[in-house]
């Protein structure tokens, strides 16, 4: 297989990429030469997640998933040059046929764009699509994947959904413990960075903080958040649902059940809070277990779990535990504050998790899915 990267720049609104797309039979033939020679596409490469996907691909270039880079974008960006580790690339105008000519395409755009185009790109004869939006996460026939947990279900998939960032970070810690001790219910509280709302959210936090500390304003302005974020926390992420939870909170419930193959009524509850940090989400997780717990055994399990860094020494000087400051920029999530639950006694564990939501919570997870599918031969053309 030949390798390339398709980057679609989101410099315009999603509807600004061009005319409505229709699937046509005029598909150019593909040429395949070896396992490590795929055409890889990244759609939305100038957004926060899209940039991280390209960065992860560059960082993991030794895995040889990528060999040639093609960049596709809006009419405004067409013709511009992009310097990457894979060479200088000229931005081309995006269209469905160009995307279908890739072997795997990462979608780092919003759900509306994904709904309009993902299935057309991944239709027989086209590319495998790994979608980072929420558009297909709850579709019964679309795998929702964390490779270390349920990567095996991608073997025949043409369209794969990447989970929500909070779910991906939390389940990396919870799933190995669930395998050891069983799980009867899970309670989660999240502390989510401003970058979860994209670059505009980070800029609003930065400018608002400057306005307050310089005395320009007593309370920061807000546009992207429901209330001022500097020197504040906001227990509100995404829209409220009829049951009183926000959609962000329900994503944790829905996705935990699907990824872990749990019953539709399995008890999972979450409260999601936006906090005034730039990057990396944190979570307090309480699990009621089926078997008696042992905190030292839990630490041993997590210490030996790929993708997890155990940071749990409260007797050190200073004490060691996960924090956004130390988790930012790391591929592995950090887990610490592991202890027997006072609420559930011998049948409960509590822990604290921090993870870079743009990496394990998005870009890295997506790239790991593609690497797994390449290893297993799932990226062979339909």
Catalytic (active-site) positions: 165, 281
CA distance 158 to 292: 41
Pairing of strands 81-84, 70-73: unpaired
CB 60 within 8 A of CB 368: no
Residue 150: CB atoms within 10 Å: 17
Reference 381, options 31, 140, 131, 3; nearest CA is 31
Nearest alpha-carbon partner for 69 in 157, 2, 118, 169? 2
Closest alpha carbon to 366 in 123, 100, 141, 44: 44
Helix (H) / strand (E) containing 160: strand 159-161
Alpha-carbon dihedral sign for residues 369, 374, 377, 382: positive
Q: How far apart are CA 296 and CA 302, in angstroms?
A: 10
Could you give the angle at which helices 295-303 and 165-181 cross, rounded to 10 degrees? 120
Strands 308-310 and 185-192: unpaired
R_g of the chain, CA atoms, integer Å: 21
| Structural contact between residues 2 and 67, judged by C-beta atoms closer than 8 angstroms | yes
Listing DSSP states for 68-86 in one string gives: --EEEE-TTTTT-EEEETT
């Amino acid at each position: 297989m030949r390798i390339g990267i398709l980057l679609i720049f989101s410099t315009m609104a999603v509807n600004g990429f061009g005319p409505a797309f229709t699937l046509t039979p005029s598909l150019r033939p593909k040429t395949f030469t070896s396992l490590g020679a795929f055409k890889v596409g990244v759609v939305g490469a100038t957004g926060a997640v899209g940039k991280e996907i390209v960065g992860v691909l560059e960082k993991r270039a030794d895995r040889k998933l990528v060999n040639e880079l093609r960049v596709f974008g809006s009419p405004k960006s067409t013709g511009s040059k992009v310097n990457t580790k894979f060479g200088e690339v000229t931005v081309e105008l995006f269209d469905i046929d160009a995307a279908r000519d890739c072997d795997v395409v990462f979608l780092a755009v919003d759900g509306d764009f994904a709904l309009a185009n993902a299935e057309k790109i991944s239709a027989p004869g086209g590319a495998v699509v790994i979608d980072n939006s929420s558009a297909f996460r709850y579709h019964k026939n679309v795998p929702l994947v964390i490779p270390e947990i349920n990567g095996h279900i991608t073997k025949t998939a043409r369209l794969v959904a990447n989970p929500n960032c909070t779910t991906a970070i939390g389940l990396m810690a919870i799933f190995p413990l669930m395998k050891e001790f069983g799980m009867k219910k899970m309670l989660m509280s999240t502390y989510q960075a401003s970058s979860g709302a994209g670059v505009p959210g980070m800029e609003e936090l930065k400018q608002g903080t400057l306005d307050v500390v310089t005395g320009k304003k007593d309370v920061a302005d807000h546009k992207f958040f429901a209330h001022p974020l500097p020197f504040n926390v906001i227990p509100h992420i995404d829209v409220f649902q009829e049951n009183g939870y926000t959609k962000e909170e329900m994503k944790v419930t829905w996705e935990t059940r699907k990824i872990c193959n749990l019953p539709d009524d399995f008890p999972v509850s979450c409260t999601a809070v936006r906090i005034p940090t730039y990057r990396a989400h944190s979570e307090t997780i309480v699990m009621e277990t089926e078997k008696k717990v042992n905190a030292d055994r839990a630490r041993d399990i997590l210490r030996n779990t790929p993708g997890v860094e155990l940071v749990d020494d409260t007797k050190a000087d200073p004490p060691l535990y996960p924090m956004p400051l130390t988790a930012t920029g790391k591929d592995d999530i950090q887990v610490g504050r592991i202890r027997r639950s006072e609420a559930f006694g011998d049948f409960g564990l509590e822990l604290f998790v921090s993870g870079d939501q743009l990496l394990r919570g998005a870009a890295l997870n997506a790239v790991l899915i593609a690497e797994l599918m390449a290893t297993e031969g799932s990226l062979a053309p339909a």
